[in-house]
Amino acid sequence: MRHTHILLAHGSGGSMMHDLIRELFLPAFDNPLLQQSNDQAVFDPQTKRLAFTTDSYVVQPLFFPGGCIGDLAVHGTINDLAVGGAVPIGLSAGFIIEEGLEVEILQRIVDAMKLAADNAGVPIVTGDTKVVERGACDKLFINTSGIGVIADGVNIDGANARDGDVVLLSGCIGEHGVAVMSERKGIRFSTPVVTDSKALHRLVQRMLDVCSDIHVMRDPTRGGVASTLNEIASQSGVGIEIDEASLPITPEVQGACDLLGLDPLYLANEGALIAIVPAVHSDALLAAMRETPEGVNARMIGTVLSDTPGLVRMRTGIGGTRIVNMLSGEILPRIC
């Protein structure tokens, strides 16, 4: 790339755009489907059911402790497939670039996406690039969509939670929220809080190996664990009670929250999942989760109840009760 900054011409469909694709995007995302250079990637899935998801990433700032918008975009969409029980088979990546963005920054982000995709074993098979005038977007927006295949017998749905089920959480909460916020506000830590952004599809497959009867799975991103549990309670028409003492929160995240008056239950997570499963499978699942790198801190955090449908409540440290509402308003805008 002879240019140091992205220009409008890089998005025009002409030779400069082809240069950008050939010299920056293709080498990073190189795979047989992408090499065909068609307008579409064609799959031949062996299963009857497909999962399809899309997400756009507008996180500000682009780089934060432990990650950047690029790997977030890869992990986030993989995870949306994974929590449906799908094996991801390909991603698309659409870039909307603000005129004037340094090529070096774009390169770093694309390299991060390549690393994330390679590590996850999920190729980026098709993409798009647009360049907009200065001010028309904030440096870079990325959309990733994903396709996955779902094996027969896997039936994971937000409406499947049943009275007596237990709620499992795969890892510590609040880390992504605090990592992005600390970067934004220039907050320093003695032990930096880094994003928990990671792909969860292998964890999910391990869980499905152990238990084919997982009722609900979701990743608590924007809105945090609180909002996700409220969504599920509402969809399934059940109540959920969680136990405050069981929530895995690191002292650094708790300290940042105390300082800024935040509640970790509402902070975004990018590498954790919630699973609602029949109580009888809880021990086996937790044991299996804890053997994976993504699930070492897996805990049971609550139970599903039939009284108070749609309500999520928490048993506090002293044995009292408080409800846990859906997030109201925004805590931190543009967190993912």
What does the binding site for other proteins look like in residue numbers (CB under 8 A)? Answer: 182, 185, 187-191, 245, 251-252, 254-256, 258-261, 308, 310-311, 313-323, 325, 328-329
- Give min distance, CB of 101 to other proteins, in A: 25
Q: Which residues fall within 8 angstroms of residue 223, CB to CB, at 6 or more apart?
A: 266, 268, 326, 327
- Give min distance, CB of 41 to other proteins, in A: 40
Q: Select 46 or 190, whichever has its Cβ closest to other proteins.
A: 190
Q: Select 239 or 295, whichever has its Cβ closest to other proteins.
A: 239
Q: Select 107 or 308, whichever has its Cβ closest to other proteins.
A: 308
- Give min distance, CB of 58 to other proteins, in A: 17
Nearest to 321 by CA among 330, 329, 312: 312
Q: Select 245 or 279, whichever has its Cβ closest to other proteins.
A: 245
**C-alpha distance from residue 301 to each of 64, 94, 165, 173 (Å):** 29, 37, 11, 12
Could you count the other beta carbons within 10 Å of the beta carbon of residue 223? 22
d(CA 146, CA 57): 14
- Give min distance, CB of 153 to other proteins, in A: 36
d(CA 116, CA 176): 17
Q: Which residues fall within 8 angstroms of residue 117, CB to CB, at 6 or more apart?
A: 29, 74, 91, 123, 124
- Give min distance, CB of 93 to other proteins, in A: 31
Q: Select 22 or 322, whichever has its Cβ closest to other proteins.
A: 322
For helices 175-185 and 251-260, the axis angle rounded to 10 degrees is: 50
- Give min distance, CB of 242 to other proteins, in A: 12
Enumerate long-range contacts of 188-192, CB under 8 Å, 24 or more apart: 189/252, 189/256, 191/252, 192/65
Tokens of 13: 């469909």
- Give min distance, CB of 254 to other proteins, in A: 6
Q: Select 165 or 252, whichever has its Cβ closest to other proteins.
A: 252
Q: Select 153 or 186, whichever has its Cβ closest to other proteins.
A: 186
d(CA 24, CA 102): 13
Q: Select 215 or 313, whichever has its Cβ closest to other proteins.
A: 313
- Give min distance, CB of 306 to other proteins, in A: 15
d(CA 86, CA 48): 12
- Give min distance, CB of 317 to other proteins, in A: 4
Tell me, what amino acid is at 281? H
Q: Select 209 or 307, whichever has its Cβ closest to other proteins.
A: 307
Tell me, what amino acid is at 240? I
**C-alpha distance from residue 216 to each of 82, 161, 273, 279 (Å):** 12, 6, 10, 13
Specify which residues 54 forms β-bridges with: 145
Nearest to 126 by CA among 78, 96, 90: 90
